[in-house]
Amino acid sequence: MKSPPIPATPPGGVEGALSPAAAAALLEEAADLLVVYLDFPAALRTCERAARSLSAGGLAGERAGAFLEVKCSLCVVGIQALAEMDRWREALAWVLQYYQAPEKLPPKVLELCLLLYSKMKDPGAVLGAARAWLRDPDNQGLPEWPALAELHLQRVLLPLGHVSEAEELVGSAAFSEQQRLDALQAICTARHQQRHRPTGSEEHQQLNQEGTSRKLLSLLALLRRLWASVLSHFASLPFKKSLLATLVLCLLLVRFDPANPSSLPSLYRLAQLFHRLREALLSPLHQPPIFD
């Protein structure tokens, strides 16, 4: 594999204004470091150097549009580098230092943040930024707004349980007919899940029942092992003692209802009784004498 490229120094210094060629060169260098050389820290540093220079320059006209596109692409590469280094939690704060406010984020950058945080099961981290961006009047006229509103609804609002806010968004969003139907169906499903979600007391009761069932199964398994052990030694006992022990065991088992949780202490004492019985049967006092 080829060695990573030597970082390019833009004319006028790192923090000075970049020419379009220098900005494009830094973007290409960062992309190579990310994709070809898998040098994620170096790719992030290159993006930071270029983004700082682009943020410092006050440009206007067509040149400003070209620089904004390069800056957006640098932020996309930087977010990917952070994700590769398992530093994805820093992504939103990292891009905001170059755009100052969430509503100023480019649509591509916001989309990537929505996808990243929702995939990592942390949609709440991007909730405020997405709200600010979608409510900004300047952004509502962008062609990307409906797609980002739908993504925000599906990946952030509904997973967080903000069903009412999702309904308000559908009512105000410039969705297509298919987008509106998909959103309403997702909202209906989320509301149904909310209504049938068990309450805290029900969940606590279910956990208690599961714990009781596990204890019961453990006790029954212990009883089966002890019963098998006792049976293996009944043959060495006199017939009357064997019959009496069998009768007592049957009476004990018939009187207890295993399905009733209140019987668990009795079953546990029964298991202890069998355990002591097995120890008694295996003690040296019950072993046949050995004659020389």
Q: Are 108 and 76 in contact (CB under 8 A)?
A: yes
- Of residues 78, 84, 88, the one with CA closest to residue 50: 78
- Across the chain, which has 292 residues, the per-10-residue mean pLDDT values are 53 56 91 96 96 71 77 96 96 95 96 96 97 96 94 96 93 83 91 74 60 62 61 54 54 48 54 61 53 48
Q: Are 53 and 45 in contact (CB under 8 A)?
A: no
pLDDT of 115: 96
Domain boundaries 20-195, CATH class: mainly alpha
pLDDT of 18: 74
pLDDT of 55: 76
pLDDT of 19: 76
Q: Are 26 and 8 in contact (CB under 8 A)?
A: yes
Counting Cβ atoms within 10 Å, is residue 222 exposed (0-12), middle (13-18) or buried (19+)? middle
Q: Model-level pTM?
A: 0.64
